[in-house]
Chains A and B, each alone.
Chain A
Amino acid sequence: MNAHCDYDLIIIGGGPAGLTAGLYASRAKLSTAIIEKSTPGGRIANTELVENFPGFPQGISGSELSARMMSQLMQAGVAFIRTETTGVELRDELKYVNTAQGDYSAQALIIAGGCQPRKLGVPGEDELVGSGVSYCAFCDGNRFAGQPVAIIGGGDGGITEGLYMSRIASKVTIIEILPRLGAAKILQERARENPRMDILCSTKVETITTEGNMRVLRLKNTETGEKSSLEVSGIFVLIGLVPATAYLKGLVELDDDGFIKVKGNLETSVPGIFAAGDIRSGSSRQAIAAAGDGATAALSAEKFITFKQRL
Chain B
Amino acid sequence: MAIKTVTVLDPTAKSQKVLKMASRSDNLKGKVVGFVWNNKPGGDILLNRFAELLNEKFKFARVVKYTRPLASSGTDVGTLDSLSATCDLIIIAIGDCGSCTSYVVYDAVEFEKRGTPTVSVISTEFESLGRVEAQALGMANLPMVIVPHPIGGIPLEQVAKKADNALEAMIKALSGHGGK
Give A contacts to B, CB under 8 Å.
Answer: 1, 3, 7, 26, 29-33, 38-41, 44-47, 61-64, 66-68, 70-71, 74, 76-80, 82, 130, 136, 138-143, 145, 168
- CB interface residues, B 16-75, toward A, < 8 Å: 16-17, 40-42, 69-72
Q: Is the CB–CB distance between B11 and A142 below 8 Å?
A: no
Residue numbers of B with Cβ under 8 A of A are 7, 9-17, 40-42, 69-72, 97-103, 106, 125-126, 128-129, 131-133, 135-137, 150-154
Q: Are A38 and B14 in contact (CB under 8 A)?
A: no
Minimum C-beta distance from B19 to chain A (A) = 12
A33 to B133, CA, bound (A): 15
A32 adjacent to B132 (CB under 8 Å):
no
Is there an interface contact between B12 and A31, defined as CB atoms closer than 8 Å?
yes
Do A70 and B152 touch (CB < 8 A)?
A: no
Among the listed B11, B106, B132, B154, which residue makes an inter-chain contact with A74, where contact means beta carbons less than 8 Å apart?
Answer: B132
Contact residues in B for A29 (Cβ distance below 8 Å): 11-13
Contacts A32-B13, A79-B16, A142-B42 given; indicate if A39 touches B102 (C-beta within 8 A): yes
Q: How far is the CA of A113 from the CA of B110 in the complex (A)?
A: 24
- Contact call B71/A82, Cβ cutoff below 8 A: no
Closest-by-CB residue of A relative to B73 is A38
Looking at the assembled complex, report how far the CB atom of A87 sits from the nearest CB atom of chain B, in whole angstroms: 21
Q: A40-B132, A63-B129, A139-B72 are in contact. Are A77 and B98 (CB under 8 A)?
A: no
Q: Which residues of B contact A79 (CB under 8 A)?
A: 13-14, 16-17
Our pick among B7, B9, B132, B153 for the contact of A70 (Cβ within 8 Å) is B132
Say which residue of B42, B129, B131, B137 sits within 8 Å of A80 (CB atoms).
B137
Distance between A22 CB and nearest chain B CB, rounded to angstroms: 9
Considering the chains assembled together, what is the distance between the CA atoms of A265 and B151 in angstroms? 45
**Which of B14, B40, B136 contacts A82, CB < 8 Å?**
B136
Chain B nearest CB: distance from A142 CB in Å?
A: 3
Given A64-B129, A80-B137, 8 more A-B residue pairs with CB atoms under 8 Å apart are A1-B10, A31-B11, A31-B12, A38-B72, A47-B98, A64-B128, A70-B136, A142-B153
